[in-house]
Amino acid sequence: MSSGSDVDPVDAAEETIFTWGAPPLKFGAGAADEIGFDMAQFGAQRVLVLTDPGIAALGIPQRVAENMKRYGINAEVFDGVHIEPTDAAFETAVEYARARGPWDGFVAVGGGSAIDTAKAVNLLTSCSGELMDYVNKPIGRAEVPSKQLKPLVAVPTTAGTGAESTAMCVLDILSMKVKTGISHWRLRPALAVVDPLLTMTLPPEVTASAGMDIVCHAVESYTAKWYADSGRHRPEERVTYCGSNPVSDLWCERAMGLIAKSFRRAVHSGAEDVEARTDMMMAATFAGMGFGNAGVHIPHANGYPIAGMVKEYRPAGYPQDEPMVPHGQSVSLTAPEAFRFSFPSAPERHLRAAEMLAPQTEMLPDPVEQLPHVLVDLMRDIGIPNGIGAVGYGESDVPDLVPGTMKQQRLLSTCPRPVGEEEIERILLRSVQNW
């Protein structure tokens, strides 16, 4: 059998191929009440529903479990998901699932934390090995799942992470004080069930933070290194995040248009405004379909240490029992400065993003400032903290944050401009205060 490696019909120096994947989608008001039907289509008889205590208190996971029982499915609820999960939290969920398994399928009900925990549980109950075997290099061993996982139905309850579309999960490694992830296409949910009615009661602060995550997903993907600007990959080396490409661009553009239309409304009058909530849910889903294939870059890479090294910050609208920087805040706080830095690599894309996010904004004399200006204007309007200074970091903390960003090489490699320690340090220093 030929390895195929010695016969290459195209120029081996340049990438000519991009990939794009997304789960099937069921979208709309009431979709969450059809999961019994959907799970039955996968032939599942024993299903574990994973959620966090806050969502469990709203009764949503129990409602989903009851619905599955009507289709003859034996469903059990695990409500021990930890918000911004750690390796220890993942392991607790995995131990629970392994002890009470085997399962034919999983349903994740919640934000990114619940969906990511369910991805890890699905991986570690379907395949052998331990968590660190699969965590991204250099922190873990980045092993590849050996087989198809069980069907996972992801039901987001916030409009933000896009975790229902993506093939990765994020976690904090406690002993190293670092946030990292597992990424492989097999982790992608088998079905995304997106029901805007589940987001009606989200507090404004959560709506704002999660919405900034959508903004960053869309703009980072849209400005990510173009897929053909990477060296050619062999099929076995081809990564989930291939850089911006014609298909991910479409989704990101549509997401930005929905943000422009409905983000401020969803924050300020979301409790009554079903249309604004629906637009934000759709924006999150679309941006997930974009960044889940293109990848994100500096703002998300900085978000890892900003969230991972939190000191005393306790944001309004979130559980107050421990300090945390919500994901959407952590990734957006350095975004204005990061996009000043990445501007020269693709000026027209930065300007186009600014125009889609805020079509009415006048052109500034300096084009570099257009996108940062639009982002700062939005962040001020919806109550996002003013820079990393407002979540507890001063200039003297910046040298400690830099290594945490540099560890995110998988993300930094998607940056359209080469970026090293000095550049990251400058971006963080200039993000202590954004306005």
Residues that bind Zn ion (CB under 5 A): 213
Can you read off the two tokens belonging to residue 72?
A: 């003859």
Which residue lies nearer to Zn ion by CB, 23 or 292?
292
User: In the bound complex, what is the minimum distance in angstroms from residue 247's beta carbon to Zn ion?
Assistant: 20
Can you read off the two tokens belonging to residue 12?
A: 């081996």
Which residue lies nearer to Zn ion by CB, 23 or 151?
23
Question: How, if at all, do strands 178-183 and 168-173 pair?
Answer: antiparallel
Give the helix/strand (H/E) hosting 253: helix 246-269
Which residue lies nearer to Zn ion by CB, 213 or 337?
213
Which residue lies nearer to Zn ion by CB, 48 or 283?
283
User: In the bound complex, what is the minimum distance in angstroms from residue 290's beta carbon to Zn ion?
Assistant: 12
Q: How far apart are CA 146 and CA 123, in angstroms?
A: 10
C-beta nearest to Zn ion: residue: 213
User: In the bound complex, what is the minimum distance in angstroms from residue 231's beta carbon to Zn ion?
Assistant: 27
Q: How many CB atoms lie within 10 A of CB 33?
A: 15
User: In the bound complex, what is the minimum distance in angstroms from residue 6's beta carbon to Zn ion?
Assistant: 41
Tell me the helices (H) and strands (E) count for the chain, helix number first.
17, 8
Which residue lies nearer to Zn ion by CB, 15 or 164?
164
Give how far Cα 64 sits from Cα of 76, 93, 282, 432, Å: 10, 19, 21, 43
User: In the bound complex, what is the minimum distance in angstroms from residue 163's beta carbon to Zn ion?
Assistant: 9
Which residue lies nearer to Zn ion by CB, 326 or 416?
326
User: In the bound complex, what is the minimum distance in angstroms from residue 302's beta carbon to Zn ion?
Assistant: 12
C-alpha 233: how far from its chain's center? 25
CB of 280 closer than 8 Å to CB of 258: yes
Q: How far apart are CA 175 and CA 150, in angstroms?
A: 30
Which residue lies nearer to Zn ion by CB, 78 or 339?
339
User: In the bound complex, what is the minimum distance in angstroms from residue 405's beta carbon to Zn ion?
Assistant: 15
Q: How far apart are CA 212 and CA 329, in angstroms?
A: 7
User: In the bound complex, what is the minimum distance in angstroms from residue 93's beta carbon to Zn ion?
Assistant: 21
CB of 247 closer than 8 Å to CB of 181: no
Give the helix/strand (H/E) hosting 182: strand 178-183
Q: How far apart are CA 284 and CA 159, in angstroms?
A: 5
User: In the bound complex, what is the minimum distance in angstroms from residue 217's beta carbon to Zn ion?
Assistant: 6
Which residue lies nearer to Zn ion by CB, 64 or 212?
212
Which residue lies nearer to Zn ion by CB, 290 or 387?
290
Asked whether the bond before 102 is cis by omega within 30 degrees of 0, the reply is yes
Which residue lies nearer to Zn ion by CB, 38 or 164?
164
Question: Is 47 strand, coil or helix?
Answer: strand
Q: How far apart are CA 78 and CA 97, in angstroms?
A: 9
User: In the bound complex, what is the minimum distance in angstroms from residue 112's beta carbon to Zn ion?
Assistant: 7
**DSSP for residue 198:** G
Question: Is 307 strand, coil or helix?
Answer: helix
User: In the bound complex, what is the minimum distance in angstroms from residue 411's beta carbon to Zn ion?
Assistant: 10
Which residue lies nearer to Zn ion by CB, 210 or 267?
210
HSE of 54, CA atoms in CB hemisphere, 13 A? 17
CB of 55 closer than 8 Å to CB of 70: no
Q: Residue 144 burial (CB < 10 Å; 0-12/13-18/19+)?
A: exposed
